[in-house]
Chains A and B, each alone.
Chain A
């Protein structure tokens, strides 16, 4: 008997707002729930999330591409699974095990992310698995790992934001991307705090700030080094902290000595006075928090840019100081948990490295397979997508919880690579743009139909609770993976029961950096979630990291000197403008879900290009005119939206739409050398009026 009510969380972003789902007159109603992340708030996406449950576009039967007509046709589960397993066997027999690849998502529950990683390594035996979180969190993750020895988005609870004297947001627009988080920022500002936003656009968040720095896209790193330069010259560096808790400061000091404010003003366009005032607010505030998000991270120098802000935080003595610190605002619903349990090419559960022999032994023992049978590290998301169907690349791909045809950089190329596959399998709720070009489409359960856990932007492990069973014809991803593993004759044991999978995940994570051993469903139920690391059931969890030491071999955080460098693609006479991309409030990620929800479609009906009235005047463009935006990789057609909130040398387009409105047709696939993050946030374009 299904319950009449379920206390769960929103299906969308990493804030994971608490919500209660109820059956009311044959429909599912969403009600906001008091929870520390949202304090009873919900944005329009959350309120309307249930509209997809019984939506006419919902997939309720597998689809198979007819080999003669080329069309997708409804099929039985048995036929669909047979086509998949026959295809996998055939391709692996001809091209080797790595010829079958897996692409996951940051929206999958911990259980599904874990099972997917295990399925790839054990059932498929492929090294080729990565996920769309590579496009989201990877730069902050890499910077956090190398500085702190751990990667948890926020090393402190959200409530600290509301109490900060100074809060610096770099490339973050929570007013649109996670609106209920703004309650903390309002609280912070009402208490007299300084809220400083760094963004090339005067976003809704920037307009709510006490100070807005509006740098040229791709120059956030230089801003960070200039802020530290000023902190040094003004004597705001916490030398005691630096001496006691860090290593490597001297090298950073000598690098930032070369970033005096006037030099950086010229690079970034941020006035010296603003750099100085910002440094003062950071350097003289009591409780000071520095946060980055995609604006700083989605660059070919994303890791170094985040490192610049981590260096600043360390020099000011923030990490581990009560009420202060550095953090990153994770994007996707399970962007945190999804990167901890083995979807990443180089990773095993518990944030272990797949090239670490001890980690392999431990995880292989939990999985019941020889460690030597586990494949090694694969390549990152974009490299994986870019290699599909090429002579040395995979011939088959399984996609869960992702829509790369819309969300990947240089999307036209990625779409062509996906089309070149011998077998593309997509599991989704609706016929996403990626599902539409698949050979096999599997209808999967929605958030209100599954149990499991998510780990939010604070590192807080939460419970997703089912209100109802999936509709007839729909299966959960766990059930499908288990069935496929069985049909493939996989070693090890797979389970369709999320709690069983979670208990196995706990054992697999034991002793790793992201240790979930002590996180039980009961313990999560008893309170508002459990913060990892939590190495024992009897012991405490960890709401605040770094209080006494950093999880590095010597317990100290590490400075890394970082230098500014130009964007991978700078403007030129043919492509004279910068393009930056991002989100709007009423849509989520590739839009496969939110574009189908009427109130959201009404609020944000389609793509647009933001440009400054001065630029529009020079181009002879009026508000609403249809524009063609062209980069070296493709073009976008969209109406002009004139606004003084953007720099006149930069245009903006949201990336939620497909077809001719696909902003990612333009974006640059240059990758960060460490995180392999593509440069979504800046490329060179030309803008013309159509007709």
Chain B
């Protein structure tokens, strides 16, 4: 399909779409308009940036290669004129499109608290969403000792963990009775809180913030129980809201996000929306995997490469992974009626596992701590594949893989048919027969049977059997 494609937004969704388009055949001309002045970067890595583990250049993502993509950074789009199919930019440009893709993302919610102006946050207070937010946090964190994070969801905990890694004393304030309540049950939340405490992140649960007072010397968060917390830095992590202003102003159908169909088309067939700003089948985004899947579908459709491409949402898997924390949560936090629930808790080691099963399919899972089956559980959940009849393998260890090494048993207990030397197919019975035929040393047994002469790893076993044979006079050998 020929045409001028404009992508509004150069975040993870927009940049991915540009790359997907560039990689496909066709003579389309792609213009990406990004409000942020940076190269595309990986938001997932921002907590590593907060932690000081990586620099800004390390979070850059691959851009679109080739002549067909024109990326304009620091250019905000102010309006879409659907009638003559143009967009207007903040610097007064008017650019025509044949197809427009909105990838405007979302913005952090600033809670309506006294002392917080959402347009101009006070100093020492920041949201945690963009690279600029990160810079703002780091600018304050440099001289800070204590930090507060308001909001105990996934992003808030990642920010908390990152700041703790920098050596700050961090406390998370969360209005609900347990952390990450959308993904975790109370028991899981409790194990997670203990794990965080061991890493230097304290939690205040079931208490709301009522006011913020920030000044040059510090920030004070007043809580609903009347107490207050003082710190040098406050990070707000109270959720995100799809960025729908452009779409709304242009008259597109907007609910919580810009409403799209399975082809990611908005109410105007010449305009698509992907990523956090889009609302598909009642669900708004917020995660990278669906945004990238949507980018693939749109690229396939716009280039004519995959005219049948349709977006099919994948189940959501939430993953919190940082040094000392390993949490995977997926599906519903509550069991379906008549479903199975399996749990394993080892608070001392910070391990918690909970699997919800309906029939033979996983409907939800929480794995916290050292759970070697995590990769298997995620893939079973992702595909809706049947779980094994013996559920223990999923709860406690590898569902597949290495069986425990056979214990070194006495040669007397080893069946004659046991293959001792794999490389030369030598059984215990063959070694015994060789001995009975007159071989009286390891060397002689080896010379006759060729055991140990391949990879050599059965040397100990063969020596053990020869030693046993020399200690036992009469050995019965099976046929």
Contact = CB atoms under 8 A, between A and B. Distances in A.
A594 to B, nearest CB: 13
Contacts of A186: 455-457
Contacts of A204: 422
Interface string A441-459: 0000000000000000000
A44 B374 contact: no
Contacts of B63: 254
Interface stretch (A266-274, A342-350, A372-380): A266-274
B375 interface: yes
A491 B399 CA distance: 64
A260 B45 contact: yes
Given A179-B423, A257-B42, A271 B379 contact: no
Contacts of B423: 41, 43-44, 179-180, 585
Interface in A222-276: 232-235, 251, 253-255, 257-258, 260-263, 265-266, 268-274
- Interface SS of chain A: helix, strand, loop or mixed? helix
A32 interface: yes
A44 B376 CA distance: 37
A175 interface: yes
Interface stretch (A111-119, A362-370, A642-650): A642-650
A186 B54 CA distance: 37
Nearest to A650: B400
Contacts of A182: 454-457
Interface in B28-45: 41-42, 44-45
B121 interface: no
Contacts of A183: 455-456
A163 to B, nearest CB: 17
Contacts of A43: 423-424, 453-455
A603 interface: yes
Interface in A618-670: 618, 644-649
A569 interface: no
Nearest to A234: B53
Interface string A40-52: 1111100100000
Contacts of A253: 57-58, 60
Interface stretch (A208-216, A402-410, A498-506): A208-216
Among A216, A232, A261, A270, max chain B CB count under 10 A is at A232
B425 interface: yes
Interface string B379-401: 10011011011100000000111
B455 A207 contact: no
A561 B60 CA distance: 14
A266 B54 contact: no
Given A212-B401, A260-B45, A233 B425 contact: no
B375 A179 contact: no
A261 B375 CA distance: 11
A633 B402 CA distance: 32
A599 B58 CA distance: 57
A648 B401 contact: no
Contacts of A645: 400-403
Contacts of B450: 42, 44, 47
B402 A180 contact: no
Interface string A181-217: 1110010000000000000001010111000101010
B424 A47 contact: yes
Interface in B404-448: 405, 422-425
B102 to A, nearest CB: 22
Given A254-B62, A271-B375, A265 B319 contact: yes
Contact of B374 (A271, A586, A647): A271
B372 A271 contact: yes
B24 interface: no
Contacts of A212: 401-402
B144 interface: no
A212 B372 CA distance: 12
B190 interface: no
Interface string A169-182: 00000010001111
Of B60, B63, B400, most A-chain CB atoms within 10 Å: B400
A298 B444 CA distance: 42
A612 interface: yes
A175 B402 contact: no
A202 B401 contact: yes
Contacts of B454: 41-44, 179-180, 182
B259 to A, nearest CB: 27
A274 B385 CA distance: 23
A603 B425 contact: yes
Contact of A266 (B58, B289, B326, B424): B289
Q: How large is the interface on A (under 10, 10 to 19, 20 to 34, 35 or more residues)?
A: 35 or more
A614 B389 contact: yes
Given A234-B53, A614-B389, A202 B453 contact: no
B59 interface: yes
A678 to B, nearest CB: 24
Contact of A270 (B375, B382, B403, B425): B375
Nearest to B421: A44
Interface in A41-74: 41-44, 47
B58 A257 contact: yes
A177 to B, nearest CB: 11
Given A186-B457, A272-B321, A645-B403, A599 B378 contact: no
B461 interface: no
B288 A263 contact: yes
A254 B63 CA distance: 8
A179 B458 CA distance: 12
Contact of B403 (A42, A260, A274, A644): A644
Given A263-B288, A266-B382, A273 B62 contact: no
A658 to B, nearest CB: 22
Contacts of A234: 53
B370 interface: yes
A232 B58 contact: yes
B73 interface: no
B4 to A, nearest CB: 26
Interface string A472-486: 000000000000000
Residue from the set A204, A255, A648 with the largest chain B CB neighbour count within 10 Å: A648
Contacts of A614: 388-390, 399
A269 B378 contact: yes
A41 B459 CA distance: 12
Contact of A649 (B44, B54, B385): B385
B110 interface: no
**Among B374, B403, B423: residue with most chain A CB under 10 A:** B423
A647 B58 CA distance: 35
Contacts of B379: 216, 266, 269, 649
A617 interface: yes
A260 B57 CA distance: 16
Given A32-B453, A262-B319, A254 B60 contact: yes
A183 B453 CA distance: 10
Nearest to B426: A44
- Listed residue (B41, B425, B454) with the most chain A CB atoms within 10 angstroms of its CB: B454
A233 B383 CA distance: 30
B61 interface: yes
19 contacts: A41-B456, A175-B455, A179-B423, A182-B455, A212-B401, A216-B379, A233-B54, A253-B58, A254-B62, A266-B378, A266-B379, A266-B382, A271-B372, A273-B326, A273-B372, A614-B388, A617-B389, A646-B400, A649-B383
Interface of A: 32, 40-44, 47, 175, 179-183, 186, 202, 204, 206-208, 212, 214, 216, 232-235, 251, 253-255, 257-258, 260-263, 265-266, 268-274, 561, 585-586, 599, 602-603, 612, 614, 617-618, 644-649
Given A233-B54, A254-B62, A260-B45, 18 more contacts: A41-B454, A43-B453, A183-B455, A204-B422, A232-B54, A232-B58, A235-B53, A254-B60, A257-B42, A257-B58, A263-B44, A269-B375, A269-B378, A272-B321, A644-B403, A646-B400, A648-B400, A649-B383
Closest 4 CB pairs of A and B: A182-B455, A262-B319, A179-B454, A254-B62
